Amino acid sequence: MEKEINALREKLRKADRVAVLTGAGISAESGVPTFRGSGGLWRNYQATDLATPQAFAKDPELVWEFYNWRRDLISKVTYNPAHRALVDLESLVPNFTLITQNVDGLHLLAGSQNLLEIHGNLWKVRCTRCREITLDRSPDLGTSPKCKTCGGLLRPHVIWFGESLDQDILHRSIEASTNSRVMLVIGTSSVVQPAASLALEAKSRGAVVAEINLERTPNSSSMDFSLIGKAGEIVPRLVEGWK
């Protein structure tokens, strides 16, 4: 793997445009449970049954109890060396875009600037009345949090099952991927669309694509580099010696 890491580092050094896509794997190394993990149940509810607009419309207090539980879990963890290495990489590349499927906010906490959170952010809330979005890192917002601007009911600013992605963020993610010279895909199973197709789109436009994951994925055979291992160990090595 040493030879591959060195070769990929050289590709990154020469690239003026780099895109990165991260998934649950990078945060799992910080101790963030995967969404369908932690037994898959919360108080005998399937997590996937609560993360829907229908569930919120029916019982917003129950949904907020679930999200306060998630916020409390994530408030106890922090970013890891892979998150920090991506901040370093951003400072070294002229045109850098980080796209994440994660909602835990760890990239933002680590210091990433040009960040596209395609599934939203657990620490942001959106008013159901005036649509204002605010950042609030309180572990517990109560079961009926209200907008400070208009008094409307707040909801988590995340994409729920059955909801469409923000089209502006999606467009910018596609644009960053297809315009990249090198694209890294880190800690993602490459099965959730449309994120899973971003690297293949980048490759079709001539980019070097690299995957860093604990195991092979459906896209592995299409990658120029497939590095199997922990992101927290591999990603920092890609920026070693640049500074």
User: Which residues does the annotation mark as catalytic?
Assistant: 119
Burial per residue of 217-233, b for 16 or more beta-carbon CB atoms within 10 angstroms, e otherwise: bebeeebbbbbeebbbe
The beta strand positions in 174-221, using DSSP E, are 182-186, 208-213
Record the tokens describing residue 230, joined without a space: 């922990």
Contact 104, 27 (CB under 8 A): yes
Contacts of 55 (CB under 8 A, 6+ apart): 49, 62, 63
Record the tokens describing residue 175, joined without a space: 């644009």
Neighbours of 171 (CB within 10 A): 12
Amino acid present at 207: A
Neighbours of 25 (CB within 10 A): 20
- The number of residues in the chain equals 243
